[in-house]
A and B are shown apart, each in its own frame.
Chain A
């Protein structure tokens, strides 16, 4: 063994070195390859909403699956497959051939059946993940036969939540103001509709301006400004009963109502003390607390997501900008700097973004600011944009814009990705307010 060790020592050591080298190299390769994916598809998610099988006479009008399709499309996050391109029309799990749907490039398939018994329609529906070949949702839901839209929106909500992890908002309501002018006749109407603009109902009609509808957190009341008495007065309006109350009728301005998260107080802009300042009004007691005190205009107050601070518009810098007061009474902090005109903040419920009206190059857009990094970005391509209102899940935004000389409502995904115009109503449609999710 040891003889001629001098001669053997060298190649032996070399071999060992090489071995160790290899092991080191191999060892580093053992630290497995890691591929990071930091960007997703710049497209909406393909989903097949298969027309539901039906047993029993269904009410006339839109089909449930069509409403679901429209809802998902409106969200901007989904790209429902045209049913005419479907290879089969399954209505239950045993009929779903994943390979077919994969071939069609679909990620999810929604199938279902509708059964009518008496005045009730019941839906049994299932949602499948095509690639994982798994059922991720299987439920039944029912509604009265004249509320098939309610049923459809519910299904849309469930599908949306199952896939995105965020609650769906298709069952929520919109409030908005329409304005009709015929000759000298002017009609303002406060309306409430489904989120897709369907099933609109007029809640108040006036010759004088109605402004700034705002939803109570429970979705049962609206607050708004009405000039019906010849001056701006803030009313609260119980939707179920139609009961109205004057919430604020102070000298000068009474405007910009916004509900507190607990629904017990309103933020208001009053000018009773000289110029526009923000106050907090406790509804039950009528107690009024002044929150701002500045010679400049302070208005458009709205609670932040914590419910402890407010965002508002002030022109103390020379033009309207958005300020944040983290606690009532704290020193306000200006948060928008991107242009000379930024107003009417509408924060999302997560405290990630604040949306607002933003002027750029003589046009008005909706922009948002990322509260984490202060990044401001314009998210609408239209001009003359007004009145942004964020969906309760923070994923969609509705705003008013001009189209052929009249004001219309447009829904965009919160990142501005997809736009969807609500069906044109009669006359101008303005000041949309997205209602809360009501469980």
Chain B
């Protein structure tokens, strides 16, 4: 048994060793796998961001200047217009006076003149608006063209920058990969050395642990066995008292009964597995087994399950009276 056990353990240890030894080859593949794995974004990204901010700022500045000019221009126009309006109002007030004076007289004429004036003014205004609109459109077109030009230039620049960056990053990554590969190789060598060194340690540990576990198992086993033996002898005693070997019994007779118990100790089943060849003898054994209303069984469930859930009772008289 123990020889078989040792053999088994040796076989297992060998199996474990042979499984572990050919591992050195796949290791580089791990490294290359790591090569393609994405690296974190390199630092130049921060520069590009700044550049883009500067550009934007510059553009905004231009825009702001342009808008200020525009506003100034509009303000001057407004001032001219307001001046003209103020003059017109003064003129209108004069004209109002004149008109009020001449109103009554020349209402129709006035009206016609006013209408003419309004019409002319409206015409002039419309012309002005048209001019302004055309002017605006032209300006906006120029602006759009300028912006498109600008954008195009910026994108070209960015593309160049990105290309450079990519190349730089690739170089960094290649260097990093090389470094890691070397590192990995070093580690692999170390690991191999460690592994070799560990081998004996592991074996010693395995042996120690195996012994420990075996000892623990034995201890548990022994405990259960002790417990089991106690109840075995109790059962033996009870059955001996309950068994009335028939007069025809001889010391050659043996009946074997397989009994199944409930954890409560009650008899669940009994089966004659080997007859003595003598019905009276078999019956005496069955009668004895069935006469116990409750078998003494351990309260420990493991012990019960292992030994007393199902067991065999052999009736074989040795000291016939």
Contact = CB atoms under 8 A, between A and B. Distances in A.
Q: Find out whether A and B make contact in their complex, taking CB atoms under 8 A apart as touching.
A: yes
Interface in B250-290: 250, 258, 278-281, 283-288, 290
A24 B12 CA distance: 15
A40 interface: yes
Nearest to B312: A34
B320 interface: yes
Contact of B246 (A16, A21, A165): A165
A424 to B, nearest CB: 28
B191 interface: yes
A2 interface: yes
* Most interface-central of B12, B27, B244, B313 (chain A CB within 10 A): B244
Contacts of A13: 12-13, 15-16, 206
A131 B12 CA distance: 53
A29 B305 CA distance: 10
Given A21-B214, A24-B5, A25-B217, A14 B206 contact: yes
A44 B246 CA distance: 10
B24 to A, nearest CB: 10
Interface string B291-307: 10000000000000011
Contact of B314 (A14, A24, A35, A136): A35
Contacts of B27: 3
A165 B240 contact: no
Contact of A6 (B198, B247, B291, B315): B198
B308 A417 contact: no
A412 to B, nearest CB: 11
A22 interface: yes
A20 interface: yes
B20 interface: yes
A40 B206 contact: no
A164 interface: yes
B221 A164 contact: no
Nearest to A105: B291
A69 B204 CA distance: 76
A12 interface: yes
A6 B23 contact: yes
Interface residues of B, number: 73
A191 B289 CA distance: 46
A5 interface: yes
B170 interface: no
A3 B24 CA distance: 9
Nearest to A46: B244
A132 B19 contact: no
Given A10-B206, A13-B206, A36-B316, A41 B241 contact: yes
Interface stretch (B72-80, B95-103, B143-151, B231-239): B231-239
B110 interface: no
A395 B38 CA distance: 99
Contacts of B243: 37, 39-41
A77 interface: yes
A107 B244 contact: yes
Interface residues of A, number: 51
Contacts of B20: 5-6, 9
A36 B243 CA distance: 12
A16 B284 CA distance: 47
Given A13-B206, A17-B210, A37 B314 contact: yes
Interface string A217-229: 0000000000000
Contacts of A44: 244
A25 B246 contact: no
Contacts of B210: 14, 17, 21
Contacts of B9: 17, 20
A9 B17 contact: yes
B8 to A, nearest CB: 5
A41 B242 contact: yes
Contacts of A3: 23, 26-27, 30
B247 A165 contact: yes
Contacts of A2: 22-23, 26
B267 to A, nearest CB: 10
* Most interface-central of B214, B232, B246, B312 (chain A CB within 10 A): B246
* Most interface-central of A2, A13, A44, A166 (chain B CB within 10 A): A13
Given A35-B239, A38-B316, A415-B320, A25 B221 contact: yes
A40 B213 contact: no
A33 B23 contact: no
B280 A163 contact: yes
Given A2-B23, A36-B316, A41-B240, A166 B246 contact: yes
A140 B290 CA distance: 29
A100 to B, nearest CB: 14
Contacts of A41: 240-244
Given A35-B312, A42-B321, A9 B244 contact: no
Contacts of A35: 232, 235-236, 239, 311-314
Nearest to B17: A9
B248 interface: yes
A335 interface: no
Nearest to A167: B248
A371 interface: no
Interface in A1-59: 2-3, 5-6, 9-10, 12-14, 16-18, 20-22, 24-25, 29, 32-45
A3 B31 CA distance: 12
A2 B29 CA distance: 12
Nearest to B276: A165
17 contacts: A2-B23, A5-B19, A6-B191, A12-B16, A13-B15, A17-B210, A24-B8, A37-B314, A38-B317, A38-B319, A39-B240, A39-B318, A43-B244, A44-B244, A162-B280, A164-B246, A417-B321
Interface of A: 2-3, 5-6, 9-10, 12-14, 16-18, 20-22, 24-25, 29, 32-45, 77, 102, 107, 129, 131-132, 136, 162-166, 352, 393, 395, 413, 415-417
Given A10-B206, A37-B240, 4 more contacts: A14-B210, A17-B12, A38-B318, A77-B247
